[in-house]
Amino acid sequence: MTPRVLIIAGSDSGGGAGIQADIKTVTALGAYAATAITAITVQDTEKVHAVHPVPDEAVADQIRVVLSDIGADAIKIGMIGTRGAGEAILKALAPWPDIPLILDPVLVATSGDALGDDSVAALIRDEFLPRTTILTPNVPEAEMLTGLVIHDTDGFAVACAKLADMGATGIMAKAGHLTGDPVEDFYFEVGLRTVFSHPRFVSRNTHGTGCSLASAIAAGVAQGMSRPEACRRAVAYVSAAIEHAAGLGKGHGPLNHAMIEREDGTFRPR
């Protein structure tokens, strides 16, 4: 059977992030993408102009009908939007507690615009983390969730340990906000820390990197990869997608999601 990923996230009209980036990523990596849309954003490469939440009941209904019919081998959650939507998601997922959950704690867009408030962050900490298989925070998100200040990779590892204590099984730590070249992202779980080094690209084409990484991980988990291996492939995919981006738009441009994996585990454009 084709590996199935249910994506729960917001729509990005510019196509670089959110549901659009998620579908492109999951498809490029050979899995099937189904969706439950939490919000419609009016968004381009420069900013989020407006956010229109989808009614909570509609979010929950999308999840229920997809899981009841198509099913899923992994679930990816991105933009939750509101606390009400988050509570609806948790309730809708309750009958399927064993499906691996990859959570991208989306609270701020690449442009700096808010996509969630303190109540959503609190819900992630209190309710979502104990259900999460892999959490994918960047430095600001890890700081917001733990209350710690992160200056380097060792500090990031301390924050990851705290996130694990809060319930997350594994954490894919995105270290792009830290200084240094190469960038040293890493996968963390209790007793394990696997580092993925890659060149730092000086590029404005980074819109949707977090969405794409989490969806790439979800595709790998759905395909039966181990958590560290799913993260390794996801980092390689996103790095190549940044390197080969088309340079669209006036602001933070989207990635090139149309990548093909080589036999050596690296990626090239289609």
Q: What is the pLDDT of residues 234-258, one digit of tens each?
A: 999 999 999 999 999 999 999 999 9
Provide the whole-model pTM: 0.95
**Six-digit token pair at 150?**
């992160």
Residue 191 is a catalytic residue: no
Question: Range with the lowest mean pLDDT among 44-53, 125-134, 174-183, 209-218?
Answer: 174-183
- Please report the pLDDT score of residue 199 as a whole number: 87
- Please report the pLDDT score of residue 184 as a whole number: 92
- Please report the pLDDT score of residue 179 as a whole number: 86
- Please report the pLDDT score of residue 115 as a whole number: 64
Residue 16 is a catalytic residue: no
Structural domains of the chain, ranges and CATH numbers in brackets: 4-269 (3.40.1190.20)
Contact 4, 73 (CB under 8 A): yes
Catalytic entry in 81, 208, 220, 253: 208
Residue 210 is a catalytic residue: yes
- Please report the pLDDT score of residue 217 as a whole number: 98
Residue 160 is a catalytic residue: no
Rounded Cα distance between 183 and 192, Å, is: 19
Catalytic entry in 81, 132, 153, 174: 174
Read off the pLDDT of residues 200-221 as tens digits, 9 standing for 90 and up.
Answer: 888 999 999 999 999 999 999 9
pLDDT > 90: percent of the chain: 87
Beta strands in 64-191 (DSSP E): 74-77, 101-103, 134-135, 170-173, 183-189
- Please report the pLDDT score of residue 111 as a whole number: 60
Catalytic entry in 133, 146, 206, 220: 206
Cα-based torsion angle of the residue sequence 166, 189, 74, 82 in order, rounded to the nearest 10 degrees: 30
pLDDT exceeds 80 at position 153: yes
Residue 133 is a catalytic residue: no
Mean pLDDT across 124-147 = 94
Q: What is the mean pLDDT of the chain?
A: 94
Catalytic entry in 209, 220, 231, 253: 209
Mean pLDDT across 139-153 = 93
Mean pLDDT across 139-167 = 94
Q: Locate all alpha helices (DSSP H) within 94-226, ordered by sequence.
A: 118-123, 139-146, 153-165, 209-222
Mean pLDDT across 26-41 = 97
Catalytic entry in 78, 211, 220, 253: 211
- Please report the pLDDT score of residue 73 as a whole number: 98
- Please report the pLDDT score of residue 181 as a whole number: 87
Residue 224 is a catalytic residue: no
pLDDT exceeds 80 at position 22: yes
- Please report the pLDDT score of residue 201 as a whole number: 85
Read off the pLDDT of residues 81-130 as tens digits, 9 standing for 90 and up.
Answer: 899 999 999 999 999 999 999 999 987 666 666 566 778 889 999 999 99
Cα distances from 211 to residues 104, 149, 214, in angstroms, run: 7, 24, 5
